[in-house]
Amino acid sequence: MKANVTAASSADAPVAHLAVDIAFGHYALAVPRDARARLAIGWLALGVSALAASGLLAVFLALARTPGVNRFLPAGDFFRTVLVAHVDLSVLVWFVSFAGAVFTLNSTPRALAVGRAALALAVLGAVAIAVAPFLDPAAPIMANYIPVIDGPVFKGGLLVFAAGATLLVARGLFASPLVGVRLDGAGTLRFGVNAAIVAGAVALIAFAWSLLAVPRDLEARAYYELAFWGGGHVLQFAWTLMLLVAWLLLADASGVRVPISPRVVALLFGIQLVAVFATTLVYLAYDVTSVEHHRLQTWLMRIGGALAIPVVAAAVALGLARRARGGPVPVQARPLLAALVVSLALFGTGGMIGFLIEGSNVKIPAHYHGAIVGVTIALMGLTYWLLPRLGAAAPRAKLAVWQSVLYGAGQVMHISGLLWSGGYGVQRKVAGGEQVLRTTSEIAGMGLMGAGGLVAVIGGVMFVVVVALAVRDRPRAR
């Protein structure tokens, strides 16, 4: 009798496992190995290069804010000029470039010439953005979402990069495959990528609408703030959708079964899309210079994100907790798992800090550094997943794990210092003597911020090294 029970249990186990897989789904995507892969590699190379350049600029930024060191470095407008390039390279160029790789891999082989033109324009624009601080003596404008150097080199580069992004999104709308009626895990991820493309398209429309509607005679800071506010908010939906896709894919690739069905995930993606499309109603109902327009954009982002992100994050965290009770993680899955855990922790920390913001102080960069770097680490992990599927070697596991840990730890120190100093009213977007650090606590907080920034830069450099080694060690054709 005991033998029969054992046999029955053994026979039933695969059936139970299959039932769980059907209910929850495998969140994986196929990666083509044709011309689309070669184009995706180009986008990925641009993104990694942008991160490398922004990391070099971040060394200056961290030192310029560090007590005792900052008196030897220029501050004022030069600090803010470098900050503009750093932000645009590490957020705008990196995110758009990574999206370019994913959009391309998710597409059919149609209109590849348009994709190549998009990449060429994006490269030219990114180079101009990177060199502008050293060639453009114009004033830096610290507008939210897309800060600007108000001179011809930077603005020309930004315009060319925007043209490349427009072609990228246009091809994505034209060449993306249909998801199909059967929503399995793979179909749901494709739906998430397609939704990100739609969000990108609406963001571009919002940017164009605002640029046409905002009066040109406004002071430069007010002009760019209004011009980029609406489109910048919509772009956050695109990055959030990419983040959720990355979390689900990394979890599945790490052997984590996420206890949430593909249909529920698709519904959450759909909620994000509803918020994206609602942006057009805000534009139709209120002038872009109105307080109502400003507030409703913020409200849409909070509501759309609050409904989708916590649900997926909680499901992934529950899957991670269950996986922790299982056997050892395979070596090649460890970098993916490390990136996933660090991304969840940082994004959650940034979100919680958002509730503590009062006034315009360094709590604000503490909030968005947590959220943005949470997205960045998820995309770094997705890069590790993509590398062997695009012809490179698998990333060196130990080095890649340490990269995520160091990058994440540095950012935790960085945002902790900012949060600490923000509690004393230290202002954002300033450096050197402009910070007016009066007390030991203020100095200690900004010192912690500077040390964390340097640790994070080391983690960022390690990411570039891991990718470079994987490319160098790629299997050679015989």
Does residue 370 contact residue 411 with C-beta atoms inside 8 Å?
yes
The arithmetic mean of pLDDT across residues 447-476, rounded, is 84
How many structural domains are present in the chain?
Answer: 1
Decide which of 50 and 82 is more confident: 50
If 0-12 CB within 10 Å is exposed, 13-18 middle and 19+ buried, where does residue 73 land?
middle
Distance (Å, whole) CA 57 – CA 62: 9
Does 397 fall in a domain?
yes
Does 33 fall in a domain?
no
Does 442 fall in a domain?
yes
Query: For 92-96, 130-134, 469-473, which range has the lowest pLDDT when averaged over its residues?
Result: 130-134
DSSP 148: E
Give backbone dihedrals phi and psi of 141, rounded to 5 degrees, phi first: -115, 110
- Counting residues of the chain whose pLDDT is more than 70, the rounded percentage is 80
The arithmetic mean of pLDDT across residues 71-99, rounded, is 81
User: Per-residue pLDDT tens for 16-44?
Assistant: 333 334 446 688 888 998 999 999 999 99
Domain carrying residue 419: 329-478
Residue 7 pLDDT: 31
Q: Any idea which residue has 């062997």 for tokens?
A: 388
**What are the tokens at 446?**
């900004």
pLDDT above 50: residue 8: no
CA 173 to chain centre: 21
Decide which of 146 and 83 is more confident: 146
Residue 301's closest CA among 248, 368, 369?
A: 368
User: Per-residue pLDDT tens for 263-302?
Assistant: 999 999 999 999 999 999 999 999 988 888 888 887 887 7
**What are the tokens at 164?**
């490349």
The arithmetic mean of pLDDT across residues 202-206, rounded, is 96
Does 237 fall in a domain?
no
Distance (Å, whole) CA 293 – CA 284: 10
Q: What is the pTM of this model?
A: 0.85
Does 143 fall in a domain?
no
Decide which of 201 and 14 is more confident: 201
Does 335 fall in a domain?
yes
Does residue 292 contact residue 367 with C-beta atoms inside 8 Å?
no
Give backbone dihedrals phi and psi of 147, rounded to 5 degrees, phi first: -65, 155
Does 154 fall in a domain?
no
Residue 5 pLDDT: 34
pLDDT above 90: residue 105: yes
User: Per-residue pLDDT tens for 165-199?
Assistant: 999 999 999 998 888 777 888 899 999 999 999 99
pLDDT above 90: residue 432: no
User: Per-residue pLDDT tens for 349-406?
Assistant: 777 666 655 555 555 666 666 788 889 999 999 999 999 999 999 999 999 999 999 9
Does 94 fall in a domain?
no
